[in-house]
A and B are shown apart, each in its own frame.
Chain A
Amino acid sequence: MSPSRPTKSPPPASRRDFLKLSGTAAAATALAGVAVPRVHAAEDNTIKLALVGCGGRGTGAVANALSTSGGPVKLVAMADLFENRLTGSFNRLSGQFKDKIDVPPERQFIGFDAYKKAIDCLGPSDVVLLTTHAAFRPLMLEYAVGKGVNVFAEKSFATDGPNTRRWLKAAEISEQKNLKVGVGFMWRHSKGREEVIQRIHDGEIGDVHTLRIYRVHGPVHCPRRPAEANEIAFQLQHPNSFTWVSSGFFIDWHCHNVDVACWAKGSWPVKAQAFGGRCYEAAGNQFDHFTVEYTFADGAKLFAFSRHMNGCWNTYSDYAHGSKGSALLMAALGQPRTKLYKSQNMVPEEMVWQFEGNEPNPYVVEWQLLLDAIRNDTPHNEARRAGEAEVAAIMGRTAAHTGQEVTWDQVMKSDFQFVADIDNLTFETPAPIQEGPDGIYPCPQPGLTKEL
């Protein structure tokens, strides 16, 4: 499939389907821009949640969902591979939200197939939170969509070409079924970014010729695996250190910035070439630094810089440069403080605009949008765009790991898989990456490594 523009809303087809399905009255009001009658409110107003993946982000996402306004929300099921993770999350949420947590032991599921049982607890107006690791996201989306359940999926969304295609296929079906899918690209719902990017699209900095994004900060280290630890369990418990689990540092951590930069540019890149390496063996099987050069169809460049080391200079920021000026897309994590400058020299004297509005917590905003869309049955499906951002991110990582120039089409057609049969993974499956005799996990070797 050819990439859509990253600014695009769900395609017209699903919109039409939605209108057909939801009847003329709803369609008329939706078109008139008036609040749609609460289709969902007819029977039971409560939206039920199932949490699949009870780590910090999943637990946080439940808290964000429970912090929205517009109607009752309740957590009814939880699933994880590890009981202690589930219990910890349950205790934390119960303490904070009390009666909004309705997860009795019979709806607490442990194991590789726990996600199915949790999703099976939901009905058509409910939401499953897919917050495990990227390796499992496509198959879980597929299952949820098959069951007709709405989805909130945390980034990143896939790990390689085949499971990105699987994600995109499930995304397509979710559109056909008029399901609501929100994804963890919360920066897409940041007011400061929305406004600065609108101004860029309106031509205020001219043609965008380069963008640069930085995720340059301290590391998440991989400890030595204890001799008695199960290899699969150990790797799943240290997702950032293993490409097959999380899609790796570059994607899992930097895909936000890649997504925002492409949003600002208004298109996806067509190819990438990259450098990467490992200066510290504690990075697991990961590179701990990357430079990716993306090229867009019009020749514009996106430079992505990623480093995970202590003792070095840190920045977490995004910039766009146009023929008539430049833009600060993000000054620091959580504080975009977007600005426009009349030249390439981003100094205070050259500033012509800055975002002055309030920046509501985007983690809550993304939930408000999703739950409102469910209650009002308005279109809201970010799955396709998320899958396309994943393709862009995989281009960059693959270029860094292999040392080759990698095109969009190569990723889309790639048959390379990190895990042959992720659906049937167990703790007994031989680990996709094996530690070396020195206890160090091998990292890619550009020029030799194949990932396409």
Chain B
Amino acid sequence: MTKQINNGSPAGTSRRAFLKTSAAAAALGGLSLGRSAHAAGNDEIKVGMIGCGGRCSGAAGAALAQGADVKLAAMTDVFEARMAAKRDYFKKRFPNQFAGTGETCVFGLDGYKRVIEASDAVLIACASKFHSYYAGEAIKAGKHVFIEKPHAIDPAGCVRLKQVCDMARQKNLSIVSGHESRYSTAYQEQTKQIHDGIIGDVVAIQSMFLRAPYRVIARPAGLSETEYHFYNWYHFRWLSGDDVSQSLVHNLDRMRWVLREENPTWCFGLGGRSTSFGEVYGDMFDHHTVTYEFKSGPRLYAMCQTRNGCYGNWDDIIMGTKGVCHWTACRIEGETNWHYEGPKNNPHSAEQEILIGSIRAGKPVNHGDTMIDSTYTAIMGQIACYTGTPVTWEQVTGAQFEFEPKVADVRLDMEAPTKPDATGNYPLPVPGQTEYL
């Protein structure tokens, strides 16, 4: 347990008391909890962080920037030091909005419970395996949710995500997706141009997320094998879902948007590891290519890479019958040339504006309609690369596969699900032998 910190959060107790009464009132009066929870006069919105890495901190900072009424009430991380660093940071950076206490700034795998309890809105950006589970626990408790991508890393997680989104809808709670491209004003205008026909019919798309390895963290002394996986979670399949789910999902979500939320019929994948060897890279592949087919015709050639010293590119090239869109440059060339010149926003700020705004207005936002299928799209591509076998939409959406161990069985003191071999490398999936579905 961390040291007690009293931040003097007078709202804390009364808030909880209020919720109890208002929940009862809501139940009796048929009022929505989400609406009533905030509208009832207490003008504070308490957010809590599950995960104290860069992404969750960024989300919390953006939420706090929405106004002085937003307070950071709670936070948790698996590791005490990571939580403490962010606690100290927010306390210093947002002295009037930091409302955490020794009771609400906690660490360990059960910390999420305390955060959910202490918050009106929970920001979830931790080891991705747990995203949809924590979202479910938050919604069950009547709390709004911001959920970072990937929202799930396996079909079982997607099934849970769908249940969570349905539950949020029933309870009039917001669940806001971290697919941040959707909140970019430039991308919104660009997508509108494409939907209005500026490049004609889309006939082919190439998506790329090609870069050096995402943050790798060497094994510190004193951690158990399982703890090291959490410490360096991005590089372990069972926690992160690997790079199609982690990175390429951004491109895939954008292109599903461009294709009016059409889902692929099937995909073909190739992947492996050729450069990023050593235990810091966990058990990920370092290159993937997935070709998706869509009933409306176009193929989506999607590729991601995490290798040092190699060609890099981050773009989507959308080919149409009348022109080509270069996505990240917001440039369209063809029969009609177009370039976005309007104001650009920060999508990470925009997603918190949506969340906080929805709470203030009592108008819940639910991104389930897009985020579930974009997540499935990534997962089917990831599995196709691992197995060497194409995956259909019906297969992935009908599957129950969950990376072992299942969320409910994860403990920090359990035996690690994978261990490095004599060369210091973790076993990788072997296409042609590995099966997931």
A312/B388 in contact, CB under 8 A: yes
Inter-chain contacts of A299 with B (CB < 8 A): 324
* A404 contacts partner chain B, Cβ-Cβ < 8 Å: yes
* B234 contacts partner chain A, Cβ-Cβ < 8 Å: no
Q: List 10 A-B contacts (CB under 8 A).
A: A210-B204, A277-B285, A289-B270, A301-B206, A307-B431, A312-B389, A323-B200, A323-B203, A345-B296, A446-B307
Please pick, from B274, B298, B388, B430, the residue contacting A344 in the complex, using a CB distance under 8 A: B298
Inter-chain contacts of B296 with A (CB < 8 A): 345
Given contacts A289-B270, A311-B431, A345-B295, 14 further A-B contacts (CB under 8 A): A209-B319, A210-B204, A212-B299, A275-B289, A279-B430, A280-B430, A289-B272, A305-B289, A307-B431, A309-B432, A313-B388, A321-B204, A403-B275, A447-B310
B388/A324 in contact, CB under 8 A: no
Q: Which residues of chain B (197-217) have a CB below 8 Å from chain A? A: 200, 203-204, 206
Total chain B interface residues with beta-carbon distance under 8 A:
43
Chain B minimum-CB-distance residue to A344: B297
- Chain B residues near A (Cβ < 8 Å): 200, 203-204, 206, 268, 270-275, 285-289, 291, 295-299, 301, 303, 305, 307-311, 313, 319, 321, 324, 387-390, 428, 430-433
Inter-chain contacts of B310 with A (CB < 8 A): 403-404, 446-447
B303/A277 in contact, CB under 8 A: no
Inter-chain contacts of A288 with B (CB < 8 A): 272
* A293 contacts partner chain B, Cβ-Cβ < 8 Å: yes
Inter-chain contacts of A399 with B (CB < 8 A): 311
A323/B321 in contact, CB under 8 A: yes
Chain B minimum-CB-distance residue to A319: B299
Closest beta carbon of chain A to B249's beta carbon, Å? 18
B275/A303 in contact, CB under 8 A: no
Please pick, from B273, B275, B288, B432, the residue contacting A312 in the complex, using a CB distance under 8 A: B432
Chain B minimum-CB-distance residue to A273: B311
B388/A277 in contact, CB under 8 A: no
* A58 contacts partner chain B, Cβ-Cβ < 8 Å: no
Closest beta carbon of chain A to B303's beta carbon, Å? 7
Complex Cα distance, B272 from A311, in Å, reads 15
Which bracket fits the contact residues of A?
35 or more
Inter-chain contacts of B270 with A (CB < 8 A): 275, 289-291, 305, 307
Closest beta carbon of chain B to A29's beta carbon, Å? 48
Chain A minimum-CB-distance residue to B296: A345
Complex Cα distance, B200 from A324, in Å, reads 11
A344/B299 in contact, CB under 8 A: yes
A275/B430 in contact, CB under 8 A: no
Closest beta carbon of chain A to B262's beta carbon, Å? 12
Given A275-B287, A299-B324, the answer on whether A313 and B308 have CB atoms closer than 8 Å is no
* A310 contacts partner chain B, Cβ-Cβ < 8 Å: yes
Closest beta carbon of chain B to A350's beta carbon, Å? 9
* A343 contacts partner chain B, Cβ-Cβ < 8 Å: yes
* A359 contacts partner chain B, Cβ-Cβ < 8 Å: no
Please pick, from A210, A279, A344, the residue contacting B272 in the complex, using a CB distance under 8 A: A279
B287/A277 in contact, CB under 8 A: yes
B291/A212 in contact, CB under 8 A: yes
Which of B271, B286, B431 neighbours the largest number of chain A CB atoms within 10 Å of its CB?
A: B431
Please pick, from B291, B305, B324, the residue contacting A303 in the complex, using a CB distance under 8 A: B291
B272/A278 in contact, CB under 8 A: yes
Chain B minimum-CB-distance residue to A291: B289
Complex Cα distance, B137 from A336, in Å, reads 56
Complex Cα distance, B319 from A291, in Å, reads 20
Complex Cα distance, B271 from A206, in Å, reads 33
Inter-chain contacts of B297 with A (CB < 8 A): 343-345
Complex Cα distance, B324 from A299, in Å, reads 9
Complex Cα distance, B286 from A399, in Å, reads 16
B203/A444 in contact, CB under 8 A: no
Inter-chain contacts of B321 with A (CB < 8 A): 206, 323-324
* A405 contacts partner chain B, Cβ-Cβ < 8 Å: yes
Closest beta carbon of chain B to A33's beta carbon, Å? 40
Complex Cα distance, B310 from A429, in Å, reads 33
Please pick, from A209, A278, A309, the residue contacting B274 in the complex, using a CB distance under 8 A: A278
B272/A293 in contact, CB under 8 A: no
The 0/1 profile, CB within 8 Å of B marked 1, for residues 52-94 of chain A is 0000000000000000000000000000000000000000000
* A396 contacts partner chain B, Cβ-Cβ < 8 Å: no
Q: Which residues of chain A (340-380) have a CB below 8 Å from chain B? A: 343-345
